[in-house]
Amino acid sequence: MIRHIFLLFCFIVFLSACYRFKPRTAFDPAQSPPAPDYSTLGSWAAHPDKKDPADQVPCSFLSNNQDSALVDVFFLHPTTLTGYHRDDRCWNGDISNERLNIKTDSAPILFQGSIFNGVGRVYAPFYRQAHLDAFFCDDKTSAASALHLANADALAAFDYYLKHWNKGRPFILAGHSQGGLHTLAILRDRIENTPLEQQLVVAYVVGWPVKPTDLKKIQPCETPDQLDCYCTWRTWERKKGKKKAEDKDVVCTNPLTWSTQPGVYAPKALNRGGVVRPFCAIYPGITDAEVYNGLLLASRPKFQGSILFLKKNYHVGDLNLYYMNVRENAELRAQTYLKRR
């Protein structure tokens, strides 16, 4: 009897998790939330002048070095306006939405933004992110408008950071998923073919497909210490990924070798550690990596509770599964930059 009740409970939870609230009308700019004021710390999910989740580390042998860092990190979080709350029917998120901000803080800022606190001062703006449905809906006009609004905020936040806080310091760009899309726009519209290229250490454009033609000058990184380049990957379970991988023209970086060379298998032994829930645990050798037709193939990750991890698309863990490798690589490239320039 108890077992049946437990199974029924799990089934109800499963059904509720599958339903998403979506925008019910076409995009209307008059209904968009107010633009963020990036002069106020409340518009930043992470900032050197405030205490935030990006200051934390998952274990005692790591340290938050933002106070002494000579490098900055500008990080754009992925979509957290996912439609799993009845209020998530808007095309763009309001940065004054406390519930949405807590979700952003407790997930991507903690589990992704914290990757970079060992190497730089972390700046991560809240922005009027587009609803998750913008990537899947049939209303392409509304979706494009919502993404354009989000992108405008990302560019405005980067501009404000440059004008008021950068002061000529080298910087790392990083973004995941929707944040990766906006990071690519910053590279293209603000950095490429400008003097800012001399300040760019590296860009991690993760969880978004990047083609070689998306940027004219800045190239994919091919070595662990290369500068003024970008890294990008999207992670899938090995067998399923091979069936999904169709676009050879999409750039993919192996975060265990830092090369885009396809077909080179990087074993789990090279994985310095992933960080999944709970945050206070590092899992060395959590998975492997191999570039295949524009995707990153990975074996099913092993961690506490992974028996319940049934997804084949590992997009949500693009950064988390390679947490320590990305953290150490950012430090290596920053050290290389400071030595050379």
* H/E run at residue 121: strand 120-125
State the Cα–Cα distance between residues 279 and 24, nearest whole angstrom. 36
Task: Give the C-alpha distances (Å, rounded to integers) separating 147 from 56, 126, 153, 215.
Answer: 30, 14, 10, 19
4 Cβ neighbours under 8 A, 6+ residues apart: none
Structure tokens at 30: 């008059």
273 Rama class: left (phi>0) / alpha (psi -120 to 50) / beta: left
Length of the chain in residues, anyone? 341
- pTM confidence score: 0.93
Half-sphere exposure of 181 (CA within 13 A, CB side): 17
What does the pLDDT look like over 143-174, one tens digit per residue?
999 999 999 999 999 999 999 999 999 999 99
Report pLDDT digits (tens) over 167-225.
999 999 999 999 999 999 999 999 999 999 999 999 999 999 999 999 999 999 999 99
Look at residue 303 in the predicted model and tell me its pLDDT: 85
- Where helices occur in the chain by DSSP H, the ranges are 2-18, 98-104, 110-111, 140-161, 178-186, 238-244, 323-340
CA–CA distance, 245 with 236 (Å, rounded to integer): 9
Rounded CA-CA distance 319/327 in Å is: 10
Token reading at 173: 């760009």
Residue 299 has pLDDT above 50, yes or no: yes
The two three-digit tokens of residue 331, written as one number: 């430090």
Q: Residue 304 has what DSSP assignment?
A: T
What does R_g of the chain's alpha carbons equal in angstroms? 20
3-state secondary structure of 321: helix
User: Is a pLDDT exceeding 60 seen at residue 10?
Assistant: no
pLDDT digit string, tens, across residues 102-128 = 999 999 999 999 999 999 999 999 999
